[in-house]
């Protein structure tokens, strides 16, 4: 099996590796702005699917298109050789929501401060959409986790932003980083908050015959 992760996120790669899967990384480059009045779950599922479908199309079109006439003749002469297996592409997208407002990655430090003030002293939702695209199968799903934040002072917010940690994270924080000290409890899947709900992903992969034992080497 040729499992491909359509994400440049080091956290998703770490979690997939931790679960015992072997895979390659091929990030997708698509617009990630939400549609007007788009539901947060629909938003992340749409992006996850678009990422997986984009990478699947890129990989299958590049592998089937000969580079030049010489390569075309070689391919014709060796047509009896086994074909390369089509990729199994996993896409994912995570967002944070509070009051049904989508909080993506902050655009700048001021935006990060705005997000952290919204989360301060409240419970918010972290939603990850997941999509698996194969030659004959497309499946999507979503995981939702509730996360409780302690009340943050302006000084704490400023000091946290100064570390740089919030700037590439949905909702402007990392549960596995310095922000852990402000999270007394969660309801649901911890790994979902990190960026990839491993139990859900494993179930999806197993449904098409992919498991960590068969992929590990």
Distance, in Å, from the CA atom of 193 to the CA atom of 172, rounded to the nearest integer, reads: 12
Please, which residues have CB within 8 angstroms of residue 128's CB and are 6 or more apart in sequence?
44, 48, 92, 93, 94, 142, 143, 192, 195, 196, 197
Are 5 and 195 spatial neighbours (Cβ–Cβ below 8 Å)?
no
28, 47, 116, 118, 213 from 142: Cα distances, Å:
19, 11, 24, 23, 25
Q: Which of 93, 154, 189, 211 is catalytic?
A: 93
Active site residue 93: yes
Active site residues: 93
């Amino acid at each position: 099996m040729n499992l491909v992760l359509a994400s440049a996120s080091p956290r998703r790669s770490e979690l997939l590796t931790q679960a015992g899967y072997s895979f390659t990384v091929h990030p997708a480059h698509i617009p990630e702005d939400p549609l007007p009045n788009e539901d947060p779950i629909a938003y992340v599922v749409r992006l996850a699917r678009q990422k997986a479908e984009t990478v699947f199309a890129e990989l299958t079109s590049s592998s089937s298109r000969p580079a030049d006439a010489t390569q075309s003749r070689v391919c014709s002469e060796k047509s009896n050789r086994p074909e390369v297996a089509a990729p199994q592409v996993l896409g994912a997208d995570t967002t944070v929501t509070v009051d049904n407002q989508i909080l993506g990655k902050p655009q700048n430090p001021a935006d990060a401060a705005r997000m952290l003030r919204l989360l301060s002293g409240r419970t918010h939702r972290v939603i990850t959409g997941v999509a698996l695209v194969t030659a004959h199968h497309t499946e999507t799903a979503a995981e939702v986790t509730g996360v409780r934040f302690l009340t943050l002072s302006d000084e704490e917010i400023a000091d946290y932003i100064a570390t740089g940690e919030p700037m590439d994270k949905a909702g402007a924080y990392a549960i596995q980083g310095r922000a852990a000290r402000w999270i007394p409890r969660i309801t649901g899947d911890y790994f979902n908050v990190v960026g990839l709900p491993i139990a859900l992903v494993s179930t999806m992969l197993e449904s098409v015959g992919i498991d960590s034992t068969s992929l590990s080497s």
